[in-house]
Chain A
Amino acid sequence: MAIILLAILFTILELLLSSLFYPMPFRDSRGEMRYRTFPWMTWTIIILNILVFMLWLVPDMVAARSSVLRSKVFLYGYREAELHQSQSIGALMTFTAIFMHGSFAHLFGNMLYLRVFGFRVEDACGPWRFLAYYLLAGMVSNVFDVLLNPIEAQANFAGIGASGAISGVMGAYLILFYGERITCLWGVGSLLRFIAVIPIRLFTRRRPAWWHWRLQIPSVLLLFPFLIMETVPSISIIESGYESNIGHLAHVMGFLAGFTIFLFIRKDMLMRYLQGRAL
């Protein structure tokens, strides 16, 4: 138990540390969100991911049963070979893979992004359509991740994690709520803001606060750079196969699945969007 708590603590510290350099979103909009209903499907997915990790994978990690862990990942993670050879649970592993995570940081990072962006997208779709969209984005990211990867059959590789599906949610968010602001923790951004505040306070009558830990960043400025940063390594993956254990290509393909969101959002939301009205 102590090891698990320590791992959680280190993960939180790691996330906070990374937020010094890269904006870490922690809340959609300014806190006054236009949710019509409680986003229970997003919470269900989050809880399910946590349960799968804590109850099914963590015991093997703690007991250092790496072979058991490896076999679980290879059986239920997404592998092209098993689709071709009809092994494991076949195409159903597309669902199991998106509920598995490899580490606390992997899980926490993904769930944080799902919480921030999922609430609003669920609100626009309704819970069941949101679930369908989430699964579709996850499947699309899995499928194209192996189809576009030139390394045949990925013999020693199994894709796990909800990041493809969550990238889909982020893509949908960018399309639907491009003007919305996301509250982020960002050390470098706070520093830049501080530098910008100095002349404002010195030469104008305005008195903005010197320092803000939390910054409001437009979703387009947060998510579009994410897409670019994931696209660059994805190109090299398409050219020469995987070189890292991060599914950049899956992220990009999941993100692009965001264009299908128009099939899933509610009728009134679609009409609002087409009429140029805020969602």
Chain B
Amino acid sequence: MEAVPPNSLVPQNPSDHPSSISDTPKTIHDPLTPAEAQRIEKLLNYAEVAMHRRNLETAVRAWTAVLEIRIDHPEALAKATKALYDGYFTEDAWTLMLRALRGGSTSATVFLLGIELAEKIGRWREADEIRMRLARLPDADPEIILKAAQQLRDSGHPENAVKLLETALTRHPENQTLWRYLGDGYRQTRHAKLAAVAYDRAARLGPRTEDGKKAEAALQNEIPIVSEREQRSFLLAFREAVAVSLLFLVLGFQDAGLDFSQMGRSRWLGIGLSLLGGYLLVTATSGSRQQPFGRWFSNQSGEGESPEITAEARTALGLMGGILLMVAFRLVLPIGLSLLADKWGI
């Protein structure tokens, strides 16, 4: 006979249970012998019939017998804990769950069941512990981790969701959805910089997937890459003009026979013009809010509005820049262009 206290349906010393086949219960990753598999099937059917007849005690015994063979059998554990919880045997349900978790289960489903049960019976600390263990599982399906993180977020614990996702990402660094959810978590907890990094990782892992697009959209809309100050920066626009004039400098240097002393005034003038022309062209094409042109050529007058160069002014600046660059090209390459003209008979 089993030692079952009157207020419990679960044998307290399961290894003495007569239905036990193996000495040490197996986990979901250990293969079953054909005899064990057959017995589990029979016990599960038996439990079903018992539940159909509303015989909870017999059903629980059958499920417990299954769990004696495989300590974290998901179906048996799910049904047993649910039936026990519904029958107000919450401590018994928790005992079965603890056995599975302490017995070395690596089944993510079991961990989820554990979290659910722990929360139902108000064991919040244990629920969090199980979540963190779930996140560290090497084979855990990231979908399940996401589900756990979502539960936490929805229940008003975004910090814990972040912790969970951070832990899971050490195991699944290539999972785009986890990175995106981590970005969401950071944003909720007001860590904008970390959110940007997380969204960035997500977008980088695949810009064309749904998660990639969402991460990119979050980056663009909610965490601007270029701040207002940088949009208005003269230096950032000037940087591109320097690139243009560098091109002209190297051209002029070659035209002067690779000798700076032979560059002459006109070539240096051409390089100077290329800097100005390049700046105007950059302002027209990519720096519409940069100052001081933004202020000079803006229609806006209200305070707080960011002055932007009007489209007409940009076209005019672009044309002027283009013309200046052509003049500069003529000035830095006098020999090359005259040789080309001779060759083509122009």
Q: A143-B253, A147-B258, A268-B225 are in contact. Are A89 and B204 (CB under 8 A)?
A: no
Q: A88-B339, A89-B336, A89-B339 are in contact. Are A278 and B251 (CB under 8 A)?
A: no
Q: From DSSP, what is the main secondary structure of chain A's interface residues?
A: helix
Q: B226 interface residue, CB < 8 Å from A?
A: yes
Whether A277 lies near B226 (C-beta < 8 A) is: no
Q: A90-B255, A277-B196 are in contact. Are A267 and B286 (CB under 8 A)?
A: yes
- Minimum CB–CB distance from B214 to chain A (whole Å) comes to 15
Chain B residues within 8 Å of A264, by CB = 240, 243
Q: A89-B336, A263-B239, A268-B226 are in contact. Are A278 and B204 (CB under 8 A)?
A: yes
Q: B320 interface residue, CB < 8 Å from A?
A: no
Query: Which of B36-44, B121-129, B205-213 makes up part of the contact surface?
Result: B205-213
Q: A129-B240, A278-B200 are in contact. Are A84 and B257 (CB under 8 A)?
A: yes
- Minimum CB–CB distance from A32 to chain B (whole Å) comes to 4
Whether A32 lies near B205 (C-beta < 8 A) is: yes
A30 and B227 alpha carbons, distance in the complex (Å):
31
Per-position 1/0 for B262-284, Cβ under 8 A of A:
00000000000000000000000
Chain A residues within 8 Å of B247, by CB = 132, 135-136, 139
Q: From DSSP, what is the main secondary structure of chain B's interface residues?
A: helix
Whether B258 lies near A83 (C-beta < 8 A) is: yes
Chain B residues within 8 Å of A84, by CB = 257-258
A260 and B335 alpha carbons, distance in the complex (Å):
27
Q: A252 interface residue, CB < 8 Å from B?
A: no
Whether A94 lies near B251 (C-beta < 8 A) is: yes
Per-position 1/0 for A76-101, Cβ under 8 A of B:
00001001101111111010000000
Chain B residues within 8 Å of A92, by CB = 333, 336-337, 339-340
Which residues of chain B from 200 to 250 have any CB-CB distance to chain A below 8 Å in the complex? 200-201, 203-209, 212, 225-227, 230, 236, 239-240, 242-244, 246-247, 250
A139 and B226 alpha carbons, distance in the complex (Å):
32
A175 and B335 alpha carbons, distance in the complex (Å):
36
Chain B residues within 8 Å of A87, by CB = 339
> Which residue of the partner chain, among B236, B246, B333, B340, contacts A267 with CB atoms under 8 Å?
B236
Q: B254 interface residue, CB < 8 Å from A?
A: yes
Which residues of chain A from 250 to 279 have any CB-CB distance to chain B below 8 Å in the complex? 260, 262-264, 266-268, 270-272, 275-278
A: number of interface residues (CB 8 Å): 40
Q: B327 interface residue, CB < 8 Å from A?
A: no
Chain A residue at smallest Cβ distance from B336: A90
Which residues of chain B from 304 to 346 have any CB-CB distance to chain A below 8 Å in the complex? 333, 335-337, 339-340, 343
- Minimum CB–CB distance from B204 to chain A (whole Å) comes to 4
Q: A24 interface residue, CB < 8 Å from B?
A: no
Whether A143 lies near B204 (C-beta < 8 A) is: no
A32 and B196 alpha carbons, distance in the complex (Å):
20
A113 and B262 alpha carbons, distance in the complex (Å):
37
Whether A89 lies near B243 (C-beta < 8 A) is: no
Per-position 1/0 for A7-34, Cβ under 8 A of B:
0000000000000000000000000111
> Which residue of the partner chain, among B200, B246, B258, B340, contacts A263 with CB atoms under 8 Å?
B246
Whether A91 lies near B336 (C-beta < 8 A) is: yes
Chain B residue at smallest Cβ distance from A32: B206
Chain B residue at smallest Cβ distance from A34: B207
Which residues of chain B from 142 to 196 have any CB-CB distance to chain A below 8 Å in the complex? 193, 196
Whether B243 lies near A146 (C-beta < 8 A) is: no
Per-position 1/0 for A165-195, Cβ under 8 A of B:
0000000000000000000000000000000
> Which residue of the partner chain, among A83, A89, A262, contacts B343 with CB atoms under 8 Å?
A89
Q: A111 interface residue, CB < 8 Å from B?
A: no
Chain B residue at smallest Cβ distance from A36: B207
Which residues of chain A from 237 to 260 have any CB-CB distance to chain B below 8 Å in the complex? 260
Chain A residue at smallest Cβ distance from B237: A267
Chain B residues within 8 Å of A275, by CB = 193, 196, 225
A262 and B200 alpha carbons, distance in the complex (Å):
20
Q: A73 interface residue, CB < 8 Å from B?
A: no
Chain A residue at smallest Cβ distance from B205: A32
A91 and B256 alpha carbons, distance in the complex (Å):
8
Chain B residue at smallest Cβ distance from A86: B335
Whether B201 lies near A270 (C-beta < 8 A) is: no
Q: A116 interface residue, CB < 8 Å from B?
A: no
Q: A107 interface residue, CB < 8 Å from B?
A: no
Q: A140 interface residue, CB < 8 Å from B?
A: yes
Chain B residue at smallest Cβ distance from A33: B207
Chain B residues within 8 Å of A83, by CB = 254-255, 257-258
Q: B197 interface residue, CB < 8 Å from A?
A: yes
- Minimum CB–CB distance from A105 to chain B (whole Å) comes to 29
Whether A267 lies near B339 (C-beta < 8 A) is: no
A94 and B230 alpha carbons, distance in the complex (Å):
36
A251 and B247 alpha carbons, distance in the complex (Å):
19
A132 and B251 alpha carbons, distance in the complex (Å):
12
Whether A263 lies near B226 (C-beta < 8 A) is: no
Whether B240 lies near A263 (C-beta < 8 A) is: yes
A260 and B245 alpha carbons, distance in the complex (Å):
12
Closest 6 CB pairs of A and B: A90-B336, A263-B243, A91-B254, A91-B255, A32-B206, A91-B336
Interface residues of B (CB under 8 A from A): 193, 196-197, 200-201, 203-209, 212, 225-227, 230, 236, 239-240, 242-244, 246-247, 250-251, 253-255, 257-258, 286-287, 333, 335-337, 339-340, 343
14 further A-B pairs in the complex, CB-CB below 8 A; given A33-B207, A92-B333: A80-B258, A86-B339, A90-B333, A91-B251, A91-B255, A91-B336, A92-B336, A92-B337, A94-B251, A132-B243, A136-B250, A263-B246, A264-B243, A277-B200
Q: Could you list some 10 contacts between A and B, CB below 8 A?
A: A33-B207, A86-B257, A86-B335, A88-B339, A92-B337, A139-B247, A140-B250, A263-B243, A267-B236, A272-B200
